[in-house]
Amino acid sequence: MKDNFWDAVADAPEKESSAPALVPGEPTEVFAPSQPAFDGGRSSLEVVESGRIYSAQLSDFDVSAWDSENDAQDIIDWFNQEYAKQGGSKKSLKFFKEATDIANFNSKADAKTFLALALGILNGKIDIDKNGELEGWISGDHPQWMKQYEAAATKWANIAAASAFTILMIVVLVSGSILTVSVLGQLEGQDWPTGEAEVIEFEEWVETSCDEDGCSDTQYAYATFMLHCFSFSGDQGVEWKCSGNETENTTAFEHTYESGYFEHAPVRYMIDELSGESTHTIAYNPLNPEEVDLRPGFQMNWEWILPVIIPCAILLVIARNPSVSVKGGYACIFSR
């Protein structure tokens, strides 16, 4: 051991300087050095030897929305700071816009393209020759016209989604209203009294319709009834008692009934019950015999629900589709 402290210090081995700190982000592969010289005398070999590997991400920048050129300047300022350490000259916003073929910086996709160019240059994957031309960079990976095309396509897709949503909502409201009225009418008439009505006319026929997929038949039926009623004083005032027999004291009420999708008595019921019959039991409103039901009692036709359920299911698919925005479509329509 040496007695002199300063002699010991002089003989001690010299420590190496610590490596520079990495740029935020996870390390990526080291790009192979390229031969062309960079402006300012920098080469990609110097980047590799320095041990500095750049792998910055957009999340490393204090920017909430990449929608303006001021946001783009954050990437450019960071790039110029790091590029100057490698001996490179500062690059402007115009340089980045021309190199990436982005005329208007206004999206996160533009920011990713700017950052990809900056990282490529800093890591030596993209070279800048003496004439300022880029080597190893394909301009137009995210061209402005493609962005505009995608934006226009998204706009019209949103408008189409909003239009379809509106039409389906109208269908649901109309079919839902018809269904509600039909069900309420059946609930109201389920306790009506019944009486024999005279079948004056009954007719059934088939209509054939054809298209490109072939032909289909649709069955129809039509009936006319005569109900003979007499009035009397009841608990609810003037009430009526009806039957199929005509007398001097009765009043005749004529009714027509045609088959239809939302009718309480489907066409098959009319054909089975009325073919060759002279009378038929129907329900009537004792306070107003002009209201009758061909099929007495409450009978729920589950097919009535289909025009409501199917559009609702389609509405749900449109509303939850991540590719379109109904709200954005309405915004486009009403902003015109």
pLDDT tens-digit series, residues 170-195: 999 988 888 888 777 777 777 888 88
- Whether the CB-CB separation of 310 and 176 falls below 8 Å is answered with no
What torsion, rounded to 10 degrees, do the Cα atoms 242, 245, 251, 254 define?
A: 80
Rounded CA-CA distance 288/242 in Å is 11
CB 206 within 8 A of CB 219: yes
Of these ranges, 127-131, 133-137, 158-162, 263-267, the one predicted with the greatest mean pLDDT is 158-162
Tens digit of each residue's pLDDT (9 = 90 or more) over 81-117: 999 988 888 999 998 888 888 888 888 888 988 998 8
- For 89, phi then psi, to 5°, come to -90, 155
Residue showing tokens 């939850």: 320
33 pLDDT above the threshold of 50: no
